[in-house]
């Protein structure tokens, strides 16, 4: 199958009888560690991946916006930039873009130019690799560049997060949008979600990033996600602090009786996950694979037992991979939870045995075929210069 950029360009030319004026891209992401810590003002360590969303854009003289999503049955959503922008009841995917558009209009840019847009991508949808964040970020990047606003990656990310929180209705944190906007080739980013400070952390050449999509469809993601967020906020309130970032394990334990038991478990995950994320950063800097292996394993157990966001098939896959790689690499569930993907950092020579183990065991045990992606840490969103 053609690269999504080519598909978007070809479909654009076919529909509008001319070439697109501008081309844009935003990557998906995989989080190495630091799960459900972002909206608690904590630390995350994601990397942008070499799978993404691509947009071919044609400028218009009027205020009309027409967007065609090739990967969603070629559906089209249209609106007028000068009219009130409503939810698109028929095309839920379009609400990510409509929400982004409203944010631009509200942040005092009423005269956004009209555009014809064709979009295509190669991030598996609904697998927890942030296909929707990259969809919002590529659109925001296109609007920012075409209208000469030149927003920074942090501003793009905050705008897209606000759109998702306010218009789409998921109270997500900042991680997915920020890594999609600010990713750096060959690096993971340690993000301090309290102040959005970013430290690029080199991913050692000796380790490959392997993503295994369990193909377990993520059910109830938004409602479970919003519940987890509320439980964390309850724990912070009961500890008399503004966010769990300010809590330590000893303070949590000393206040066991005054914190709701479920909220206590959620807080336990968040506090220990913040510590693990900082420790993992050191492990990567020192190429200390033994520590990395332990930290990723502990993170998985904490998501399984304290945060309760894994499912049995995901636990099975993590155990299976772990039995092959031992202490020579790390493996854990990645993303919001309830299905989706696991991520492994492992030496190249273990890719084949892990792949074999999955093919031999996973379909037999569970009737599903996992999809394996070997990814490269990649740059964040931007304009693509056409090659002639
Ligand atoms: C989803 C959200 C992120 C983050 C992760 C869990 O991907 O969009 O903000 O909370 O879940 O780490």
Q: 94-106 and 131-146 helices cross at what angle (nearest 10)? A: 40
Pairing of strands 187-192, 43-44: antiparallel
Query: Based on the domain organization, do 319 and 230 belong to the same domain?
Result: yes
Confirm if 37 and 193 have CB atoms less than 8 A apart. yes
Strand blocks (E) in the chain: 22-31, 43-44, 46-59, 64-69, 75-80, 115-121, 187-192, 197-202, 207-213, 330-334, 341-347, 371-375, 382-384
Catalytic residue among 176, 192, 257, 260: 176
Q: Is 213 helix (H, G, I), strand (E, B) or coil?
A: strand
Residue 380: inside a domain: no
88 is catalytic: no
What is the whole-number distance in angstroms between the Cα of residue 101 and the centre of ligand 1? Answer: 22
What's the chain's average pLDDT? 95
How far is Cα 27 from Cα 164, in angstroms, rounded to an integer? 17
Q: Cα–Cα distances in Å, from 12 out to 1, 19, 25, 56, 115? A: 17, 7, 15, 7, 12
Q: Which of 28-42, 286-300, 358-372 has the lowest mean pLDDT?
A: 358-372
Encode pLDDT of 251-272 as tens digits.
999 999 999 999 999 999 999 9
Same domain, 125 and 215: no
Domain end point (choices 153, 183, 202): 202
Residue 133: give its domain's CATH number.
3.30.230.10
Evaluate: CB of 176 within 6 angstroms of ligand 1.
yes
Q: Are residues 212 and 195 in the same domain?
A: no
The answer to whether residue 274 is domain-embedded is yes
Domain shared by 340 and 362, yes or no: yes
Q: Tell me, yes or no, whether 385 lies in a domain.
A: no
CATH assignment at residue 284: 3.30.70.890
Alpha carbon of 14 to ligand 1 centroid (Å): 37
Distance 335 CA to ligand 1 centre (A): 6
- Answer yes or no: do 220 and 160 share one domain: no
Taking the whole predicted model, whether its pTM rises above 0.85 is answered as yes
Residue 335 Cβ contacting ligand 1 at under 6 Å: yes
Domain count, the chain: 2
Determine, yes or no, domain membership for 187.
Answer: yes
Tell me how far the alpha carbon of residue 15 lies from the centroid of ligand 1, in angstroms.
36
Both 34 and 145 in one domain: the answer is yes
Same domain, 75 and 103: yes
Tell me whether residue 381 is in a domain.
Answer: no
C-alpha pair distances (Å), 281 with each of 3, 4, 18, 40, 191 = 33, 33, 48, 19, 11
Residue 329 and residue 252 share a domain: yes
Going by CA atoms, what residue is nearest to atom 2 of ligand 1? 172
For the stretch 31-57, pLDDT in tens is 999 999 999 999 999 999 999 999 999
**Is 35 near ligand 1, meaning CB less than 6 Å away?**
yes
Domain identity same for 219 and 180? no
233 has pLDDT over 70: yes
Would you say 345 and 322 are in contact if contact means Cβ atoms under 8 Å apart?
no
- Show which of 184, 202, 220 is a domain's final residue: 202
Do 231 and 325 reside in the same domain of the chain? yes
Within-domain flag for 321: yes
Structural domain span for residue 126: 4-202
The verdict on the CB of residue 164 being under 6 Å from ligand 1 is no
- Confidence label for 387 from pLDDT (cuts 50, 70 and 90): low
Cβ–Cβ < 8 Å for 122, 4: yes
Residue 150 shares a structural domain with residue 256: no
Q: Does residue 38 line the site of ligand 1, with CB under 6 A?
A: yes
The answer on 249 and 371 residing in a single domain is: yes
Q: What is the pLDDT of residue 219?
A: 59
Question: What contacts 123, CB < 8 A, 6 or more positions away?
Answer: 28, 49, 51, 52, 53, 129, 130, 131, 134
Would you say residue 384 lies in a domain?
Answer: no
Distance 148 CA to ligand 1 centre (A): 30
Domain closes at, from 167, 186, 202: 202
CA distances from 5 to 77, 142, 336, 385 (A): 20, 14, 28, 12
Task: Render the burial of 343-368: b for 16+ CB within 10 Å, e for the rest.
Answer: bbbbeeebbeebbebbeeebeeebee
71 ligand 1 Cβ < 6 A? no
Cα–Cα distance measured from residue 385 to residue 377, given in angstroms and rounded to the nearest whole number: 21
Within a domain: residue 382? no
């Amino acid at each position: 199958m053609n690269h999504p950029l080519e598909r978007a360009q070809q479909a654009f030319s076919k529909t509008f009888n001319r070439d697109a004026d501008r081309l844009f891209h935003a990557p998906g992401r995989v989080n190495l560690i630091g799960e459900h810590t972002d909206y608690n003002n904590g630390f995350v360590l994601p990397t942008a991946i070499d799978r993404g969303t691509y947009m071919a854009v044609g400028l218009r003289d009027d205020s009309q916006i027409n967007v065609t999503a090739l990967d969603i049955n070629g559906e089209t959503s249209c609106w007028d930039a000068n009219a009130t922008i409503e939810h698109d009841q028929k095309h839920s995917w379009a609400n990510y873009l409509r929400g982004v558009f409203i944010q631009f209009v509200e942040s005092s840019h009423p005269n956004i130019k009209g555009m014809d847009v064709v979009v295509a991508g190669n991030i598996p949808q609904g697998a927890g690799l942030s296909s929707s964040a990259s969809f919002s970020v590529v659109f925001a990047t296109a609007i920012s560049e075409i209208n000469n606003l030149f927003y920074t990656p942090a501003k793009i990310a905050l705008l897209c997060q606000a759109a998702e929180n306010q218009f789409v209705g998921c109270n997500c944190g900042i991680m997915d949008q920020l890594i999609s906007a600010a990713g750096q080739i060959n690096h993971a980013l340690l993000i301090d979600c309290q102040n959005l400070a970013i430290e690029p952390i080199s991913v050692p050449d000796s380790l490959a990033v392997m993503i295994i999509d369990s193909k377990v469809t993520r059910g109830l993601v938004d409602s479970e996600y919003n519940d987890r967020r509320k439980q964390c906020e309850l724990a912070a309130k009961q500890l008399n602090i503004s966010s769990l970032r300010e809590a330590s394990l000893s303070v949590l334990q000393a206040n066991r009786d005054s914190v709701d038991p479920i909220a206590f478990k959620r807080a336990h995950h968040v506090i220990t996950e913040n510590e693990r994320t900082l420790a993992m950063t050191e492990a990567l800097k020192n190429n200390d694979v033994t520590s990395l292996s332990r930290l990723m394993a502990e993170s998985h157990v904490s998501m399984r037992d304290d945060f309760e966001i894994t499912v049995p098939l995901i636990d099975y896959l993590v155990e299976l991979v772990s039995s092959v790689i031992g202490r020579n690499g790390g493996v854990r569930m990645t993303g919001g939870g309830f299905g989706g993907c696991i991520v492994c950092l492992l030496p190249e020579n273990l890719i084949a045995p892990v792949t074999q183990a999955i093919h031999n065991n996973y379909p037999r045990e569970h009737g599903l075929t996992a999809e394996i992606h070997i990814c490269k840490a990649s740059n964040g969103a931007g304009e693509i210069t056409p090659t002639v």
